[in-house]
Amino acid sequence: MSLIEIRGLSKNYGHVRALDYLDLNVDGGRIVGLAGPNGSGKTTLLRILGAFDTAYSGDVSIDGLKPGRETRAITSYLPEKTALSDWMTADQAIAVYKDFFADFKEDRAREMLEFFKLEGSQKLRQMSKGMQEKVQIMLVMSRDARIYLLDEPISGVDPASRKSILRGIIGQAGEDSLVLVSTHLISDIEPVLDEIIFLDFGRVILHEQADKMRAERGQSLNEAFEEIYA
């Protein structure tokens, strides 16, 4: 049984079909890229997996369970927008996570804070967008989760910060954990990916091992992305 199993998943926003009978199996212990143009269904899929949207049709299973309270305990979700109030400091955010998530490792959070060169006493509103993103990544990756769902973790930040964020992500995920990262910045994330999933119009149009795909197509994932969505 795969860690994530999805059968016939559909989701509509009014008359707009965001996911269209999507089928997908993803195993643990790897970093998987979820790529596609805007509106292809990446965020919707991650929100359903993160149990932030339960109004869908089809079957979704995370470690054998329907997304909900039980799966929240093993899933760490990074939203596209920051979920924290801007008056909070990084230290206060750490305290909140420590309070609510049994798998939260404060030592790891402190290490990441240092790695990202962030001040614990600094308020989020005083931070740049890249710094805020790093705080969110620090919190999400400091949990010992089975699944990390990261929605566009490097969009809107400068290239230097992207590399630092990616190093932070790779360094913290456990060996058996699944990291599912949505992005349209394939070239930045390509070196760390084990698998790639291409979505379009709410369907999986390609799901392949990254190395295999490079070998078979003779092109990088970014080149394949550009060719497929041209």
Partner 1 sequence: MIGKLYRLEMKETGRIAKIVYPLMIFITIAGVLFSLLNIPVLASFTNTISTLALTLCAFYLIVITVRNDYHNFQGKRGYLFRSIPAKSSEFLLSRLAYYITFLWGTTFIYIFLLMAQIELSSGAPIFLLVNVFLTQVLFASPWGIGLVIFILLSGLITVIALIFAIALGSEARFHRLGAGGPVLLYIIYYIASQLLTIASMLLIPLGIKMDLDPATGSFANFELVTEGTFRYFLDSLRANADPDHVVIGIGFIFTQILLALVMVILTYRSFDKKFSLRA
Positions that interact with partner 1 (CB under 8 A): 13-14, 47, 50-55, 68-70, 72-73, 75-77, 79, 81-85, 87, 96, 99-101
Complex with partner 1: residue 76 or 183, whichever CB lies closer? 76
In the complex with partner 1, the residue whose CB is nearer, 14 or 218, is: 14
Minimum distance between the CB of residue 71 and partner 1, rounded to whole angstroms? Answer: 9
Residue 175 CB, nearest distance to partner 1 (Å)? Answer: 23
Dihedral (Cα; 53, 83, 43, 28), 10-degree rounding: -90
Compare residues 82 and 196 and give the one whose CB is closer to partner 1. 82
Question: Smallest distance, Å, CB 59 to partner 1?
Answer: 15
Joined together, the tokens standing for residue 122 give 């600094």
In angstroms, give the least distance from the CB of 228 to partner 1. Answer: 30
* Phi, psi dihedrals of residue 99, rounded to the nearest 5°: -65, -35
Give the Cα-Cα-Cα angle 75, 161, 135 (nearest 5 degrees): 45
Q: Are 104 and 97 in contact (CB under 8 A)?
A: yes
> Encoding tokens for residue 196?
């790639």
Q: Which residue matches tokens 């969110």?
A: 136
Strand partners, 76: 148
Give the residue with the Cβ less far from partner 1, 152 or 190.
152
